[in-house]
Amino acid sequence: MLLKHTPEKINERKALVINPAKTCQPIGAMYAALGINSCLPHSHGSQGCCSYHRSTLTRHYKEPVMAATSSFTEGSSVFGGQSNLIQAFNNIFTVYEPEVIAVHTTCLSETIGDDVTQISKKALDDGKIPDGKYVIHASTPSYVGSHVTGFANMCNGMVNCLAEKSNVKCDFLNIIPGYVEPSDMEEIKKIIEALGVKYIMFPDTSGILNGPQTGKYSMYPKGGATVADIKRTGDAIGTLALGKTASSLAAKTLDTKFKVPCEIIDLPIGLSSTDTFIDTLRKIAGTSVPDSITRERGQLVDIITDMHQYFFEKKVAVFGDPDQVIALTGFLVDLDMCPIHIVTGTPDKKFEEKIKKITESVPYEVNVKAKGDTFLLHQWIKNEPVDLLIGNTYGKYIARDEDIPFLRFGFPIIDRIGHSYFPTVGYKGAMHLLVNILDLLLTRVDRDAPEESFELVL
């Protein structure tokens, strides 16, 4: 259904959300769990919940996403799901043979009060968890937070359940990449390796949700952070967390439990944020920036310089996950574009404040809302039209109604492919973003140009 009847008049809404700009916590927790090698995510709730979470990830990545479920029935919903979960551990380790089961809760199990920590301990004491196998868990009810906070909670569960401290002196850095695509995780690793920094990155979905077609199915692809590496994170010289909302919780837990100091920065999307990422790595590791990275930066600056006249003061509306939107908004401002309508569906107390600081040089009034929805965004656009809309697949309805060029960015993207293979982080990712933005803007110029202005060259 298109949104033809969205009114221009904006009314304050406190109890009603229309077309939320987010999905639920278990989806993010499941995605994080897939970033552990030989791990099977487990949904502690009903079969329907698990099916929805799996199908959302499958539709986004165009890859089969495996997960187990406690399969709550009416009895489990009344008396609790302890017996279901313990039986599930036994079945999963026997039949599917993962190294790790990553349990995330749902609304149902949280509402009835299941204590997954206690249940997991009982399963271990009763011998339901074999030697050399592991269970980690996170609390992720759908009635609070979003897929981003679910990702954060599962990353924190990895630290709480697996990380250890030894007396061995180590010289590696922990990297928590944030809620980004597998292609982005690959690009982050490429940059770190180019700088010669030793690291452990967790979670890591590269090679798992963007692997090659080999003709053979593997339930546990070769990628992902290993249990052995996650255990060692308590011995790192420091933790670099990319994106406050998705990564800071696990980073702070490592600091609190094991005295591993942490640095929390924005996702390296665009010029300035990537500069900060690389400079932070350089300082922590005491290394220099290689020519290969400097060259990529120069190429990005060259594109910006050549195409600046097409970006200048174009109005943009952006919606999506807070960490991605913050970094992307900064990049748009660097391009002298004008992000004027900005929404995230994830609750974030400092989001609005940070966006206002980033956009203080924008020569227009800037609307920003945390825990907002795309209905409000549509109303803002009706009152102040924009030249470009950036967000996930669900923005296509607004783009069609208002006749706006639309760049798909974030999660979920279910009507296009390529996002899991082409990064948007780093200088290479920024170039990829720029080419897509420029293509949309110039395609619109061509579409609307009169005959005498229909030029062959830029």
| Tokens coding 405 | 């060029």
Compute CA 258 distance to the chain's CA centroid, rounded to the nearest angstrom. Answer: 26
pLDDT tier at 168 (50, 70, 90 boundaries)?
confident
- Could you give the percent of the chain with pLDDT greater than 90? 87
Q: What is the mean pLDDT of the chain?
A: 94
Beta strands in 388-428 (DSSP E): 388-391, 406-408
Kindly tell me if the per-residue pLDDT of 456 is higher than 90: no
Query: 80 or 373: which carries more pLDDT confidence?
Result: 373
Model pLDDT for residues 253-311, shown as the tens digit of each residue: 999 999 999 999 999 999 999 999 999 999 988 889 999 999 999 999 999 999 999 99
User: What pLDDT score was predicted for residue 3?
Assistant: 62
Q: How many CB atoms lie within 10 A of CB 20?
A: 16
Model pLDDT for residues 188-199, shown as the tens digit of each residue: 999 999 999 999
Kindly tell me if the per-residue pLDDT of 42 is higher than 80: yes
Query: 73 or 364: which carries more pLDDT confidence?
Result: 364
Burial degree of 302 (CB within 10 A; 0-12, 13-18, 19+): exposed
> What is the four-CA torsion angle of 186, 191, 196, 198, rounded to 10 degrees?
-50
Cβ atoms 424, 297 nearer than 8 A: no
Mean pLDDT to the nearest integer, 174-189: 98
User: What pLDDT score was predicted for residue 1?
Assistant: 47
Model pLDDT for residues 80-90, shown as the tens digit of each residue: 789 999 999 99
Q: Which helix (H) or strand (E) holds 351?
A: helix 351-358
Burial degree of 58 (CB within 10 A; 0-12, 13-18, 19+): middle
Longest dimension (CA), the chain: 80
Q: Which of 127, 140, 130, 162 is nearest to 42 (CA)?
A: 140
What pTM was estimated for this model as a whole? 0.96
* Alpha carbon distance 206, 210 (integer Å): 6
Give the domains, in start order, of the chain with CATH numbers: 25-162 (3.40.50.1980), 173-210+218-288 (3.40.50.1980), 292-451 (3.40.50.1980)
| Tokens coding 250 | 């696990």
Task: With H, G, I as helix, E, B as strand and everything else as coil, classify residue 126.
Answer: coil
Model pLDDT for residues 338-352, shown as the tens digit of each residue: 999 999 999 988 999
Mean pLDDT to the nearest integer, 89-95: 95
- Could you give the percent of the chain with pLDDT greater than 70? 99
Mean pLDDT to the nearest integer, 117-132: 93
Q: Which of 144, 146, 156 is nearest to 25 (CA)?
A: 146
Model pLDDT for residues 231-250, shown as the tens digit of each residue: 999 999 999 999 999 999 99
| Amino acid (1-letter code) at residue 111 | T
Kindly tell me if the per-residue pLDDT of 452 is higher than 70: yes
User: What pLDDT score was predicted for residue 455?
Assistant: 84
User: What pLDDT score was predicted for residue 441?
Assistant: 96
pLDDT tier at 73 (50, 70, 90 boundaries)?
confident
